[in-house]
Structures are given as structure tokens and as C-alpha cells.
A and B are shown apart, each in its own frame.
Chain A
Amino acid sequence: MSIVPISYYLVLSAILFGLGVVAFVVKRNIITIFMAIELMLNAVNLAFVAFARAHNQLDGLVFVFFVIVVAAAESAVGLAIIITVYQNRQTLNIERINLLKF
């Protein structure tokens, strides 16, 4: 039984990361933009696991574990910030939240 080459995983990871960047730029809803960040983190995790596999080392997997933990903490704080922004501005559209924009 042959195994899938690691480069296939890396290409999939690159494609998912690119789609995450596109979603981050294209989307106008602040929640969806936040989801695009999660998509990029997932793509990077896939690359980490693939490299850990390729080099037969566990450090990559431990790093993925930490990325998942930090992403969970980040999403908790980020969604609380989104709720606060919505309470203050009554909108989720990123174009209308431009108080700090030059």
C-alpha cells in the first residue's frame, strides 16, 4: 500500500492558505473575516503535521497543539471584541467600522 507524498499535503495547505487570504481580503462581515483567520491557521497546521511526518519528529505535532490552544483563546477574545463593537456601532460591516482609518 503506497502512501500519499508529503508534497501533496503541502500543496493542499498552500491552496487553503491562499483561499484564507482571499477570504480575509474579500469578505466584508467582521465575523467571516475572523473565520478566514481560522482557515489560515488550519492550513498552517496541516503543513506542520505534514513536515512533522516527513522528518519523523514529534515537535511539529506539539506545535500544532499549541497553535490550536492559542487559536481557541484568540477566538474567545476576538468574538468578545466583535460583540463589543456591535454594541457600540450596531454594524458588522468592516467598511463602517473606520474610526481609526486614516
Chain B
Amino acid sequence: MTLPFIVFFVCAILAVVGALTLILAREPIHSALALVLVMVSLAVLYLLLGAEFIAAVQIIVYAGAVMVLFVFVIMLLNAGVEERTDYSKLAKYAGLPLGIFLLLALAYWMFDSFIGKQIANGVGGTNASVSTRELSAQLFQKYLFPFEATSILILIAILGALVLAKKDE
């Protein structure tokens, strides 16, 4: 049991516990904090995979900006305890078993598929991390047009959010 394995399993368990807390918590604010836990542990896993820039973006954009937006909306709408409704009997009895089946099937196929085996045998066995310099070169040369398109997308999203949240005159 070496250090990378210990870090991986600690973060993986934290992420799964966070996801389970998101499902089981009744208050939306508890779900939001659990989601922050998932995102931070995923950032550590990105570091373990050698993607430093993605880890930083994950912390700044996801755990920072997006989750602050969520917490702000929860506060603004004064969202309290989630009410339980059971209109659908089918969902009540079939939902959870089918969900667990999907979870196990996905995990099994991921583990058992050809590509999973091939990679587990160590195709990409290097330990070097991806430098941010290479990533930015890729981003600003090969993917320059999509990058500019995302700036337009964000502009439209800002305008859309303003128009939607504006009070009607």
C-alpha cells in the first residue's frame, strides 16, 4: 500500500460519502456542502492524475463560483426541508433497486471492458504530470475557436440570467 493508493482511496471514499450525503440529506444546504466535498476530493484526484491546471480550475470554478451560486440561491429562496411526496408507487418500489443496478452495472462494465483491462495493464504508466504550458498551447492553438465560442456562450448566459431574474415591470 503506497502513498498514491492511500490518497486515492481516501479521496474516493470521501467522494462516495459526499454523493451519498447529497442523496440522503433532507436540507438542500446539506446537499450543497456534500457536493463541495465531492468536488474537492475530485480535485485531489486530478492532482494525483497529474492534471494540475484542471485541479485548480475545479477548485476555483466549481467548488468556488458554482457552489457559491447554489448556496446563494438556497439562501435567497429560503429553501427548507424537502417535503416527501409519494404520488408514484412504481417509483417508490422500483426506483432504488434499478438505481443500484445501474450503479453496479456501470462500475462492472467499466472495470471489465476491454479498454479498462488494457489500461489497467499499464498503457499510460508514466508518472510525469501534464504541464500547464502544453495544455495552454493546445488550448490557444488547436482549440482557439471553441475557446472563443465559450466566451460568447458565457456572455449569453450572463444576459439570459439577468433577463430571467429581472422583476417584471
Contact = CB atoms under 8 A, between A and B. Distances in A.
Given A12-B15, A75-B70, A83-B165, A6 B54 contact: no
A1 interface: yes
A52 B45 CA distance: 14
A35 B127 CA distance: 33
Nearest to A29: B82
A2 B20 CA distance: 30
Contacts of A39: 19, 22, 35, 38
B-side interface size class: 35 or more
Nearest to B164: A80
A-side interface size class: 35 or more
Contacts of B100: 18, 22
Contacts of A34: 70
A42 B41 CA distance: 11
Interface in A20-55: 20-23, 25-29, 31-32, 34-36, 38-39, 42, 45-46, 49-50, 52-55
Interface in B57-77: 57-58, 61-62, 65-66, 69-70, 73-74, 76-77
Given A1-B3, A69-B154, A14 B110 contact: yes
B169 to A, nearest CB: 14
Contacts of B99: 18, 21-22, 25-26
Interface of B: 2-5, 8, 12, 15-16, 19-20, 22-23, 28, 31-32, 35, 38-39, 42, 45-46, 48-51, 53-54, 57-58, 61-62, 65-66, 69-70, 73-74, 76-77, 79, 82-85, 87, 91, 95-96, 99-100, 102-104, 106-107, 109-111, 116-117, 119-120, 122-127, 130, 134-135, 138-139, 142-143, 146, 150, 153-154, 156-158, 160-162, 164-165
A49 B85 contact: no
A61 B132 CA distance: 10
Contacts of A77: 157, 160-161, 164
Which of A15, A34, A61, A66 gathers the greatest number of chain B CB atoms within 10 Å? A61
Nearest to A64: B54
Contacts of B123: 54-55
A39 B158 CA distance: 23
A68 B62 contact: yes
B128 to A, nearest CB: 9
